[in-house]
Amino acid sequence: MLEISGLHAWYDESHVLHGMDFTVQEGEVVTLLGRNGAGKSTTLKSIMGLIPKRAGSIRFRGQELIAARPDRIGRQGIGFCPEERGIFASLSVQENLLLPPVVAPGGLTIAEIHALFPNLHERARSPGTKLSGGEQQMLAIARILRTGAKLLLLDEPTEGLAPVIVQQIGHMIEAIKRRGFTILLVEQNFRFVSKLADRHYLVEQGKIVDMIPAHALASRMDDLHNRLGV
Amino acid sequence: MVMVLGKPLPLLFGQLLLGLINGSFYAMLSMGLAIIFGLLRIINFAHGAMFMVGAFVTWGLLTYLGIGFWGAIICAPLPVGLLGMAAERFLIRPIYKLDILYGLLLTFGLAQVLQGLATNFFGVSGVSYDPPAAFARVVNLGFMYMPLYRGFVVFAAIIVCGGTWLIVEKTRLGALLRAATENPALVQAFGVNVPRLLALTFGGGVALAGLAGVLAAPLYAVNPGMGSDLIDTVFAVVVIGGMGSIGGAILTGFGLGIIEGFTDVFYPPGSAVVVFVVMAIVLLARPAGLFGKAA
């Protein structure tokens, strides 16, 4: 579904991605693991076209996106949930939820989203940023579920959240995976992703250095803990 | 005669109306500026010139095409908006990434060009335009005589401001605008053509200035300097209201028009500067403006 090859990216003059190569198959949950500054978030932003200077190849369902504008990439059916969540303060919860345009059929209906996230229904009229951190994270994910995007890029959805909320988000990701969504997940929370993902890519200094399928994870624990510094 | 604070009541009402009329133009113009600044981060110094262009288009529609005032209300803002969109596309878009001062300089230059062109074609004194026949009379309100067209201008300005506010605060288009004001990159990643939204917003903002120009045509002399005369005060209104706050721009526009009108009664020499005195006080007390959020 998504094939990244030889992806380079630069912030101004600093070279952040040094030839990323990885793939995501339809229906998979795939994580990018790595230390801070390894280039995981930059990879997601590069896929969305949000890093102006990038080179290499990003193919989504066979379409080359490396030179495309962010709105064209979004329209292809890739939903993005940024690290800072990107909830709009001047929009109500409901407006935040309805903001991303529908890009393809097959997204969740508002009723389904409210069933999955009852809080968003109760607080529909509150300003988006008056929600708790966990609720904002739910909203940030919920709003890309209704657009019909089938590939979701989630950047550190558990960052700064209480364990009970992290657990809820885990259940939610399982639920949307069962609905056939494909998810590329950036995470620092190793325990969280170890139960969710089909495969893990290890990112170091802007490159993929290893790929670990879920079944091999247990035997690699010690090694990974060392490399991730967790 | 009834006196209030030593002034005849009809005089006070007359000044209130005058203040409301000036306030109408302050509100309509500063609202467009606030919308444009909020989304594009461009301080549009050409806004007054667009207002002037709107007035001249109104005159031109009647003189060359026989389209009267009511037709002009519909037709005149359109070419002004298109002119704005062309300016955004070919002049402003290349400088978004530069410091905000470049946009200010560019639009200031654009204003000079438009004003110069108008002076070249119509002379400094400009042309005159009559109010629509239906409003070309004075009505007795009991407490004062009011030229009907002036009342209409205030009414129209309230409708225009209220309508714009509703669009921005209550519609999906408005939600897109507000979201793109906060985080344009993310809105674009959701699949929204943000460059087009910016062009439409600039076009819409200056079309509002054009519409204000239509309303002004029967009221003031249609002349090349009519925009630049007004725009200094309008910028003060935007600063007082808080850059980027639309409701703030509307309320501040009307409020300052009224303050100006009454200052003229009680201390005539102060009427030209009172807006700037208020601006200085507001900036000292609340640097982000009365309705602005601290950056």
Looking at residue A75, its pLDDT comes to 93
- Closest chain B residue by Cα to residue A97: B175
- Across the interface, of A73, A82, A89, the residue whose CB is closest to B186 is A82
Q: Cα–Cα distance between B200 and A208 in angstroms, integer?
A: 42
Q: Check if B11 contacts A (Cβ < 8 Å).
A: no
Looking at residue A57, its pLDDT comes to 92
Scan for tokens 């026989």, then name that residue: B66
Residues of chain A under the 70 pLDDT cut:
230
Residue A40 C-alpha, separation from nearest chain B C-alpha, in angstroms: 18
Q: Check if B185 contacts A (Cβ < 8 Å).
A: yes
Contact between A12 and A154 under an 8 Å Cβ cutoff? The reply is no
Is B291 a domain residue? Answer: no
What CATH number does residue B278 fall under?
1.10.3470
Concatenated DSSP letters of A6-41: EEEEEETTEEEEEEEEEEE-TT-EEEEE--TTSSHH
- Across the interface, of B175, B181, B189, the residue whose CB is closest to A74 is B189
**Residue B294 pLDDT class (50, 70, 90 cuts):** low
Mutation site, A73, A88, A154, interface B, largest B CB count within 10 A: A88
Q: Check if B176 contacts A (Cβ < 8 Å).
A: yes
Q: Which contiguous run of DSSP H or E holds residue A111?
A: helix A110-116
Residue B118 has pLDDT above 80, yes or no: yes
Q: Check if B191 contacts A (Cβ < 8 Å).
A: yes
pLDDT in tens, B2-24: 777 778 888 888 889 999 999 99
Residue B179 C-alpha, separation from nearest chain A C-alpha, in angstroms: 6
Cross-chain residue pair B188–A69, CB shorter than 8 Å: yes
Residue B86 has pLDDT above 60, yes or no: yes
pLDDT in tens, A58-104: 999 999 999 999 999 999 999 999 999 999 999 999 999 999 999 98
Q: Cα–Cα distance between B182 and A117 in angstroms, integer?
A: 25
Is B293 a domain residue? Answer: no
In chain A, where are the structural domains located? 2-228
Coil, strand or helix at A152: strand
Compute the average pLDDT of residues B239-262: 89
Compute the average pLDDT of residues B175-201: 94
Q: Check if A52 contacts B (Cβ < 8 Å).
A: no
Cross-chain residue pair A49–B189, CB shorter than 8 Å: yes
Coil, strand or helix at A64: strand
Average pLDDT along chain B = 91
Q: Cα–Cα distance between B150 and B137 in angstroms, integer?
A: 10
Cross-chain residue pair A70–B189, CB shorter than 8 Å: yes
CA atoms within 13 A on the CB side of B162: 6
Mutation site, A99, A129, A146, A147, interface B, largest B CB count within 10 A: A99
Weakest mean pLDDT among A46-55, B152-161, B167-176, B237-246 = B237-246
Residue B196 C-alpha, separation from nearest chain A C-alpha, in angstroms: 11
Mutation site, A90, A91, A139, A152, interface B, largest B CB count within 10 A: A90
Residue B129 has pLDDT above 60, yes or no: yes
Q: Check if A77 contacts B (Cβ < 8 Å).
A: no
Residue B177 has pLDDT above 90, yes or no: yes
Cross-chain residue pair A80–B189, CB shorter than 8 Å: yes
Domain of residue B104: give its range: 14-125+142-285
Residue B258 C-alpha, separation from nearest chain A C-alpha, in angstroms: 30
3-state SS string over B76-140? CHHHHHHHHHHHHHHHHHHHCCCCHHHHHHHHHHHHHHHHHHHHHHHCCCCECCCCCHHHCCEEE
Looking at residue A230, its pLDDT comes to 59
Q: Check if B198 contacts A (Cβ < 8 Å).
A: no
- With respect to CATH, is domain A2-228 assigned 3.30.1300.10? no
Q: Check if B66 contacts A (Cβ < 8 Å).
A: no
- Across the interface, of B178, B185, B191, the residue whose CB is closest to A91 is B178
Residue A71 C-alpha, separation from nearest chain B C-alpha, in angstroms: 4
Domain tally, chain B: 1
What are phi and psi for residue A81, nearest 5 degrees? Answer: -120, 105
Coil, strand or helix at B259: helix
pLDDT in tens, B99-111: 889 999 999 999 9
Residue B142 has pLDDT above 90, yes or no: no
Kindly report the number of other CB atoms within 10 A of residue B222's CB atom: 25
Q: Check if A11 contacts B (Cβ < 8 Å).
A: no
Residue B37 has pLDDT above 60, yes or no: yes
Composition of chain B by helix, strand, coil, percent to 5: 75, 5, 20
Show which of residues 129-148 on chain A sit within 8 Å of chain B, judged by CB atoms.
144, 147
